[in-house]
A and B are shown apart, each in its own frame.
Chain A
Amino acid sequence: MTQLSIAELSVPVNGMTCASCVAHVERALKELPSVFNVTVNLATNKASLRYDPVQVTLADVRHAVDNAGYIVPADEMTLDVRGMTCASCVGHVEGALKELAGVVTATVNLGMGTARVQYVPGMVTASQMKRAVNNVGYEAVERAASTSADAADRERQARQDDIRQQGRNLIIAGAVGLVVMIGTFYDMLGPLKAFIPEFLSYKWVIGLLTTPIVFGPGRQFFVNSWRGLKHGVTDMNLLYATGIGAAYGIAVINTLFPTAGFGGEGATFFESAALLTAFIVLGRWLEALTRGRTSEAIRKLMKLQPKVAHILRNGQEIEMPSDEVEIGYLIVVRPGESIPVDGAVTEGYSSVDESMLTGESLPVEKKVGDAVIAGTLNRTGAFRFHATKVGKDTALAQIIKLVEDAQASKAPIQKLADWVAGHFILGVHVLAVIVFMFWFFVGYRSFFDPNTSFILSPYKLGEMGVFGFSLLLSVTVLVISCPCAVGLATPSAMMAGTGKAAEYGVLFKGAEAIENTSKLQTIIFDKTGTLTKGEPSVTDVIASDGNPSALLRLAAIAEKNSEHPLGDAIVRGALSGGLSLVDADSFNSIPGHGVEAKVENTDILLGNRKLMREKGVDFVALMQQAEKLESDGKTVMFVAINGMAAGLVAVADTLKEHSAAAVARLHKMGLEVAMITGDNHRTAEAIARQVGIDRVLAEVLPQDKAEEVKKLQALGKKVAMVGDGVNDAPALAQADVGLAIGSGTDVAKETGDVILIKDDIRDVLVALEVAKATMNKVKQNLFWAFIYNLLGIPLAAGLFYPLVSVIISPEIAGLMMAVSSITVTLNTLLLKGFKPSTRHHEQTPGELNLRPIAIQAGIIRN
């Protein structure tokens, strides 16, 4: 059986404007063989998929997207390649380049010594291409530099171009549309008529003014519709094109042939076509603005990495692009400069502002041996460091990828919204046919009133014929039914939410993580290192023979090879007491129980009650003292020497500063809080009392933590687990939401759905509050996106016409759709001002405080 190899791909897709576009691209990609887990995101303009690279290539993916009517953009660059001598060299270089993800084609010219590469920007960089060529034994120099920051610039440029183009369309459609409206309502202007030329009211003049609007700014709807129809797909452009085209077409016919029977001069809806175009373009412009703004979080992160690094080579300082720095290079950093790659300080001393990445508000002192992170800002000193992680391995690159992947993913609620919107278009056209047929065969005869007017307009329909009236209602239904804002409602809110969380050092791994976090009912905290500082210390030593120092020494020798925090505490306690520790002759760790060791012909057993019970050591004489210590919240370890009870060593870990306050706040939010620990019940309950926790799961073996999570889930609860991402992996994976706390910036190895970079328990609250705020925003956006449709469709279809003889004009329908887009956009942007309750007193993280640097540079005085 052939082994299926699976690769992941994320490509930019241009040309999508709505949820139905998303559905079409997804369908096109799913039709490719051996392609799985396709996710297309409108807000990020990206398609992510998993595929078998043996069966499907990047070119196939581009072709599928192209066939669906959209574009995967490709750039071209030329490398100068040195060292090639024959055709096989050409093959090696081409092969090396084509193996890179993101390279579409690579053509090497032996005579000119060049490699022309067509690639998808953002997926591969020039430095990666050069490295690939170098790795096969040739030297490559690029003719045009391309860095990940340049890819971000290009992406930003593409968005700005889109915004500018729609802005130009809006100005033309709005300005000329205003003139058309003035001309149409000329007779109602009263004294203002004196300032307006009469010819503006002539139908043919209005027609001439409307024509450039329909075929200028409105052209995009016809072009996009035709492109979609050629591939057998329908999208929202078709709704607009049908509506605008029908209104304009009928108006032209009634102007040129008023007696043809389409309604006559009273049914020239040029202003409908003009204003409809203007309002829809307004909605498009706002959507383009929203897409541009909400991906700001990613761009901010990308901009943190400086474009150049100062490398020290053979005593000389040279400047090179940051993307080309290799591991081991010695890099110089001066005050005010950003750090280009991850590394370890080799010389010098400084303080570094890491707030833009970790949210840590105070600058961190860096000396020889300390780690530095790419993207952070050197404040006051100068230093040199060796690069230890470069390119996609840096903490910054990992965080960017995590946030990007989260923003490109889809929450379950969004999948539902996209499915509804995608199928809605066909349903709308069916509805339009039904509405037309009803009014044509039944409604006009029964209910038509020549005094019918449009809502918000004194314009009367007069003697409009059955065809004109039925067509008007049918067209209005098409326009008002368009779920234009639905496509943006969820992804825009998700992008804003993930970006907002990242500002506080909370990284959601996907949109589904946000949705699940908002629904949590129970949170389980791991005790050691999560609720407590994880640095316990020895508090009491009780020896049966009255020699506590000897007991502590033996206990420390037994724990010397242990990696457990309690063992560390005993060793530290012994060393700080000046006790000398030799190595044990033998050592065995029994997880969840303790350790056994042998030294100087002495058998030492150190651990909990379970261990002593299993080994048959009787501690009755010391039990009362043990229980007293445990009720004080201390962890008691029983020490047996040569099979006899020898004494007790009590260790206590301090609660983290904000643990109690965080638990209180969680209770206020309506959540049940539990604690899970391997400690005995008495100790665990004492800690739980201090911090205010309801439910204690004590004496749980590490391998059983996931089972405890499962038990709570079996009660029908949505459960989160908060713990160390590496050590608590099974429990984090089992939970509905796993929160890995204190990961630091090495986020790649963390299990769990949410990564909390800082070791601050309040970030659990930040994650919950941001998730709830984001989901509330999603629901609000979907409400605003759909409410206009739900209210507008019955009105547009003429449901209330028999009662009130008033109908909605196509341009008012277009205005309502633009207003729904405006509402969703503005509502999403409100999330940018959101501040979690635990951070109200802080300045917004990520804002660079340049004051100390300005003082240092003498620009301002202290």
Chain B
Amino acid sequence: MEQANIENLVAQRSALIYLPIALSVATLFFVVASLSGEYQPVAKIGGMVWVGLLSLIVSMPLVTARMKKHLRSR
């Protein structure tokens, strides 16, 4: 049971970190694409979604692993 509680805590706290990271990277992409002025809205939004998705995939396991280590050591 304690194990399950730790798992839930890890999942929740990790999400609070990696979701903003992915959103930030996606937003940064959108801002840069908008500032260059050359891209259609569809391309900017499509690119934002794709970059955000890949950033989420990259950050999720990294953050989750670190959070697990941190909570278990406590």
Contacts and interface: CB of A to CB of B under 8 A. Distances in A.
Interface in A402-449: 426, 429-430, 432-433, 436-437, 440-441, 445
Contacts of A233: 61, 64
Contacts of B40: 261, 465
A158 interface: no
B42 A467 contact: yes
A474 interface: yes
A441 B63 CA distance: 29
B32 interface: yes
Contacts of A31: 68, 72
A27 B64 CA distance: 13
Interface string B35-50: 0101111110011001
A60 interface: yes
A7 interface: no
A433 B11 contact: no
B60 interface: yes
A242 B58 CA distance: 13
Given A262-B42, A466-B39, A436 B47 contact: yes
Contacts of A64: 3
Given A232-B64, A471-B50, A429 B42 contact: no
Contact of B50 (A63, A436, A445, A466): A436
Most chain A CB neighbours (cut-off 10 Å) among B33, B50, B60: B50
Contacts of A826: none
B60 A232 contact: yes
B4 to A, nearest CB: 8
A433 B3 contact: no
Contacts of A211: none
B7 A426 contact: no
A789 B13 CA distance: 36
A432 B42 contact: no
A246 B58 CA distance: 17
Given A436-B47, A440-B47, A234 B42 contact: no
A67 interface: yes
Interface in A442-470: 445, 465-467, 470
A429 B57 contact: yes
Contacts of A465: 40, 42-43
A229 interface: yes
A260 interface: yes
A436 B63 CA distance: 23
A64 B29 CA distance: 38
A441 B36 contact: yes
A238 interface: yes
Q: How many A residues are at the interface, by size bracket? A: 20 to 34
Nearest to A470: B47
A803 to B, nearest CB: 25
A822 to B, nearest CB: 28
Most chain A CB neighbours (cut-off 10 Å) among B38, B39, B40, B57: B57
Given A261-B40, A429-B57, A436 B51 contact: yes
B54 interface: yes
A426 B57 CA distance: 8
A430 B47 contact: no
A232 B57 contact: no
Contact of A441 (B7, B10, B32): B32
B47 A433 contact: no
A433 B72 contact: no
Most chain B CB neighbours (cut-off 10 Å) among A234, A429, A430: A429
Interface in B5-40: 7, 10-11, 14, 29, 32-33, 36, 38-40
Given A433-B51, A433-B55, A426 B43 contact: no
A231 B11 CA distance: 8
A437 B36 CA distance: 13
B42 A426 contact: no
B61 A426 contact: yes
A231 B68 CA distance: 11
A471 B44 CA distance: 12
B58 A430 contact: yes
Nearest to B43: A467
A232 B61 contact: yes
B61 A261 contact: no
A63 B3 contact: yes
B35 to A, nearest CB: 11
A242 B68 contact: no
A433 B58 contact: yes
A471 B45 CA distance: 13
A437 B51 contact: yes
Given A233-B64, A238-B57, A471-B46, 14 more contacts: A27-B65, A232-B11, A242-B53, A246-B50, A261-B40, A261-B41, A433-B54, A436-B50, A436-B51, A440-B33, A465-B40, A467-B42, A467-B46, A474-B50
**Interface pairs A-B: 8 shortest CB-CB:** A232-B64, A261-B42, A467-B43, A467-B46, A433-B54, A429-B58, A261-B40, A429-B57
Interface of B: 3, 7, 10-11, 14, 29, 32-33, 36, 38-43, 46-47, 50-51, 53-55, 57-58, 60-65, 68, 72
13 contacts: A67-B7, A229-B57, A232-B65, A242-B57, A260-B42, A262-B46, A426-B62, A430-B58, A433-B55, A436-B47, A436-B54, A466-B39, A474-B54
